Amino acid sequence: MARIHPTYSGPLVFGGSAGKHLSREVCKRLGLHEGQLEVTRFSDGETGVKICENVRGADCYLIQPTCPPTNENLIELLLTVDAMRRASAARINVIMPYFGYARQDRKDQGRVALSAKLVANLIATAGVDRVICLDLHTAQIQGFFDIVVDHLYAGPVITKFLQRQEWARDLVVVSPDVGNVKMCRSYAQRLNASLAIIDKRRPAANVCEVMNIIGEVKGRHCLLVDDMIDTAGSVCQAAHALREAGALSVSACATHPVLSGPARQRLQEAPLERIVVTNSIPQRNDQTLAKLKVVNIAPLIAEAIHRIHNYLSVSALFDPNVDDEPEMADEDMTG
């Protein structure tokens, strides 16, 4: 039987299968009851979703990164939104800490799908009123949505963590490619560090070749910064190139630890001292890397929900004068 909140005026927060590790803590921080979903996987591969709450007239927030298995998590998100809409939710807000299909954002070849735009259309058509994303692969993806998009940044959270680490003093921030320079410049400014750039090319998907290193890295401690680590080929090749160029040590940080295919083995074997990531994507204990340091983004999401629900400024979250202590995520981040 559905729970009833006759005088409930706060937001209702739900966690999808891939977002439970975040929804639990977000609700705890906001002092909210966590909304319950019943997700069924049928024998033929279909997904079924049931909302176990009364959401009529409620301001609903669904936390669901569309990480691997991407298609299953995306379909679950769409079905949950449809169930909320048919149950007369007043407003449906989707929080996607990781937006799958974001890299298919342009036609770089003939006769290919513009998948990022299609997924944006599907989300809007399902009945979502607002989308909250974290470090989109390219900022212009916000324009693919015909609904409101709030773009959150993990950079302030990660750099505050780095500023408190002894090993992160006197760093050179290194961009693994030319397209990522804007993000790396922001990190360099916050860390009072210099900037270097790796010039590379991609002869095929998930394959990269380092061509040149622009900037001084010899005798320096280097920090590779990217929005995600997928198969880890790019970051591992960059780490080897930096060590060959005379870097004293190489560390890496990324918002989204996709870590697909051979990524974990590559990272373990690469000349990387440590890899700092967020818990935008759940990781399992049996797959944990000793090098992996996970920074918690649940406080950021909780504050964003509070501000959106109360019609406060979201951009104020990134005020450099606000000195919130970043936290490490629990080791068990299973969704």
DSSP code, position 44: T
Q: Is 217 exposed, middle or buried (0-12, 13-18, 19+ CB in 10 A)?
A: buried
Share of the chain residues as helix, strand and coil, in percent rounded to the nearest 5: 35, 25, 40
Tell me the C-alpha distance between 270 and 266, whole Å. 6
End-to-end CA distance of the chain: 25
**191 φ, ψ (degrees, to nearest 5):** -95, 0
Token pair listed for 192: 């009072």
Contact 222, 252 (CB under 8 A): no
Catalytic status, residue 200: yes
Please identify which of the residues 20, 200, 218, 293 carries the catalytic annotation.
Answer: 200
Q: CA of 167: how far to CAs of 22, 175, 221, 315, 330, in Å?
A: 28, 19, 9, 30, 22
Cis-peptide, bond into residue 69, ω within 30° of zero: yes
| Cα dihedral across residues 13, 17, 19, 22: positive or negative | positive
Neighbours of 170 (CB within 10 A): 12
Active-site residues: which are they?
200
